[in-house]
Amino acid sequence: MNSFISFFKKAPAFGWLLTVAVLFETGLHFAGDLYYIDGRGAFLTSYKRAVAEDPQRVYDYLIFGDSRSMSINGRKDELYNFSLPAAGPRYFSFFLKKYLSSHQEKPRVVVWATDALQLAGRQNVMYHDSPEIWKQFKHRLLNLFSIKENWEQYEGEELVFIMKESLPNLLLSVKHREGFEHILTATKASDLRDLKLGHVRENIKLVEHLEELNGQINVGNYFNAPDFVTLELSKKSLKQQIDHRKVKHHTMKPVLDFIEEAEKNGIKVVILEMPLLTGLSATEYNRTISRRLEEIAGRYQGVKYLKFPVMDYSPEYFSEGIHYNRKGENRMNGDFDRYVWPEIVKFGEGK
């Protein structure tokens, strides 16, 4: 202890720096909704977590899916879209558990609506199959769950990895470092007038959209390019996506875990397949996954398998062959409203 004190006496600048750092870190814990300074992706994850943990936000129907199903419009006080991009479906059962832990009133139906390709691979874990994707999108899983919740979800090598990635986020200055970097490098005088620093202004607008459409956001709308460019990109994307579907291995464990979590809580499950770029549904991989999903649904009284009336959309409905453009978003939601949603409600009401 004496040597420690002696060091600070000899290096007062370091002592002051450490004191400022501790005070700054302590102050951040009283800031409240600090995630508003984060970039859109990290913010979206934290915001949907906050909705799931809010006992006042009660819905009869919940959607869990990826960036394509995120385009489905929600319905006020009835249907909320919890879909998130680039997180994989393994977390769905745990996120449902999180929602249920904050709500006494259980939903009638939870909807599984992720792309078949999300079930590809040996373990369906990002850092195994694509470290670069994990590096870019790791905030999805790290922001979605507490360290305690992540501890319960993993074991062995995966647990060590997740804890190594999670523990630094106990320091809010580390967890929100991208937001702070943006404040330091991109703050304008107009931002200082109303203190909407970092990404706060754009995230407030994003919240207005999410509140209006209850969790919906169409990723393809952020892809700004002329129609002839997006059409050509969609055509080129088809070959790439077909190549991606030449995988030999897949796992149905995330689906089965999701059904198990819902079933033990007396909640019905709808397995919903989303429309794809024409040619993808016909691949051997997609046909195999569709067949297996339908077979799984057939084993349970409380599970229903659904498709859209048209599963193949031409390139003109996509921004880059993966996400719907505005035209595709409108068509998909029109089909959902007329054909899919009535079937989900009928199933939820036991008819």
pLDDT digits (tens, 9 = 90+) for 208-250: 999 999 999 999 887 665 565 566 777 778 888 888 888 888 9
Which CATH architecture group holds 31-348?
3-Layer(aba) Sandwich (3.40)
Q: What is the pLDDT of residues 282-316, one digit of tens each?
A: 999 999 999 999 999 999 999 999 999 999 999 99
More confident call, 78 vs 150: 78
Residues 282 and 197 sit within 8 Å (Cβ to Cβ): no
Taking the whole predicted model, whether its pTM rises above 0.85 is answered as yes
β strands within the chain, DSSP E: 61-65, 79-81, 109-113, 268-273, 276-277, 303-307, 312-313
Q: What is the pLDDT of residues 232-242, one digit of tens each?
A: 777 778 888 88
Q: At 179, is the pLDDT very low, low, confident or very high (cuts 50, 70, 90)?
A: confident
> What are the boundaries of each domain within the chain?
1-30, 31-348
Q: At 205, is the pLDDT very low, low, confident or very high (cuts 50, 70, 90)?
A: very high
Least confident of 166-180, 189-203, 232-246, 274-288: 189-203
CA distance linking residue 337 with residue 112, whole number of Å:
17
Report the chain's C-alpha Rg in angstroms. Answer: 22
Average pLDDT over residues 163-186: 76
Average pLDDT over residues 84-99: 91
More confident call, 91 vs 19: 91
Max alpha carbon distance in the chain (Å)?
Answer: 78
